[in-house]
Amino acid sequence: MMRTRPLKVALLGCGVVGSEVARIMTTHAADLAARIGAQVELAGVAVRRPDKVREGIDPALVTTDATALVKRGDIDVVVEVIGGIEPARTLITTAFAHGASVVSANKALIAQDGAALHAAADEHGRDLYYEAAVAGAIPLIRPLRESLAGDKVNRVLGIVNGTTNFILDAMDTTGAGYQEALDEATALGYAEADPTADVEGFDAAAKAAILAGIAFHTRVRLDDVHREGMTEVTAADFASARQMGCTIKLLAICERAADGASVTARVHPAMIPLSHPLANVREAYNAVFVESEAAGQLMFYGPGAGGSPTASAVLGDLVAVCRNRLGGATGPGESAYAALPVSPMGEVVTRYHISLDVADKPGVLAQVATVFAEHGVSIDTVRQSGKDGEASLVVVTHRAFDAALGGTVEALRKLDTVRGVASIMRVEGE
């Protein structure tokens, strides 16, 4: 039976995502009501520029006073899509205190202050949902939090930023350099005017923190995630990758240690075999591999950003929260009972591809091999080429500690026969 009083929704932010959320709420109102069991009413929209024309939104709903909107007391759900840390954090906690549940797409805030926000939601008996904070329309948080709740997740490996994937895919398929590929991504609207958050891995690191926390039932903050950007990836790196039967992706990797006693979370460029499903994720798409003990390998794939895909995730959360509201219940909150320590990058074990510029003379390979052996790093393959007194030496290692590899590279730089370290890249997905 349909409830007579509508559930009231306050929308914070009306940009690309917020305007699409408002549009879907209006055009699909009947379907949403049927799925929820009550009408959903847009009760207010908080914006910074009230004079801007917003098609399909009653100007009477628009306000610049977001605080007053979330304090009204008759708001059932607040949808936060303004991003950033403040004022979003204060607005969300204020909404809880005044009786509203919250749906957010704010990855930076959840990664930094998720524990405190969950505590505030629990204190007031309200929901905090944020499917849209990671990988856009791809259902990922809910499967990890609910569908795999009875399983043990050991690894989450994925491409969670569409901008960087578009750039790296263009470099791979067209032979373009980094700047040329970035310019194309900007022209097509995939990259922001300031792409730093994407290309330096900040966006992916926030998502990795959220995924690791949910997957391993452990609080993982943004500061716990090792982060490397992809601005130094070159056409030569792609050429080396192709010789190995690989390509290069910016990956978010969250892993449980082999002994189960700790976890790691990291974001960095890596070579992956062309046979791996992630190697075939093209353009601005996202894809995430989840490896668990009972379910095995699962792959989630789809558009990871944009107004419509992100709004789809927001609306999915809105339906779930509204159903909880009608039932007088709340959904899953934070699960951090495992409280596993987060290991630093130096304790991560992985394979490496190291390209060296060396003198083209006898004994160089022996010197380099000795340095690797002295630091406990086992060599898998070596490829050497050169002429006219200069040469290139490419070494691919077996799995080794990151800290051991760091010492190896330092020692290599001190060799008279090593002119320079052209590139170092991890190899994943074997």
The pLDDT of residue 391 is 86
Helices 402-413/364-374 angle, 10° precision = 140
Structure tokens at 14: 């009306």
The Cα 91–Cα 120 span in angstroms is 12
Which residues, in sequence order, are bridge partners of residue 401?
349
Instruction: Tell me the residue type at 20.
Output: E
pLDDT tens-digit map of 6-29: 999 999 999 999 999 999 999 999
- Phi, psi for 285 (deg, rounded to 5): -80, 160
The pLDDT of residue 2 is 65
Q: Are strands 418-427 and 263-273 parallel, antiparallel or unpaired?
A: parallel
Closest CA to 174 of 235, 113, 116: 235
pLDDT tens-digit map of 270-295: 999 999 999 999 999 999 999 999 99
Is the distance from CB of 64 to CB of 50 less than 8 angstroms?
yes
The Cα 285–Cα 159 span in angstroms is 8
The Cα 313–Cα 92 span in angstroms is 18
The Cα 311–Cα 62 span in angstroms is 19
pTM (2 decimals)? 0.94
Instruction: Tell me the residue type at 149.
Output: A
Is the distance from CB of 254 to CB of 111 less than 8 angstroms?
no
Query: CA 262, 268, 272 angle in degrees (round to 5)?
Result: 95
Structure tokens at 408: 């190896």
Closest CA to 32 of 393, 320, 409: 320
Largest CA distance in the chain: 86
pLDDT tens-digit map of 317-356: 999 999 999 999 999 999 999 999 999 999 999 999 999 9
Tokens 């997957």 belong to residue: 215
The pLDDT of residue 390 is 77
Is the distance from CB of 46 to CB of 10 less than 8 angstroms?
yes
Let me know how many helices (H) and strands (E) the chain has, helices first. Answer: 14, 17
The pLDDT of residue 225 is 98
Tell me which residues are annotated as active site. 207
Divide the 430 residues of the chain into consecutive groups of 10 and give the mean pLDDT of each group: 83 95 95 96 95 88 97 97 96 98 97 97 98 92 95 97 96 95 93 94 98 98 96 93 94 96 98 95 95 96 87 96 96 96 95 93 92 95 79 92 93 93 89
The Cα 76–Cα 65 span in angstroms is 18
List of residues 6+ apart from 242 with CB closer than 8 A: none
Tokens 């990871």 belong to residue: 304
Cα distances (angstroms) measured from residue 87 to each of 80, 106, 394: 11, 12, 50
The pLDDT of residue 306 is 81
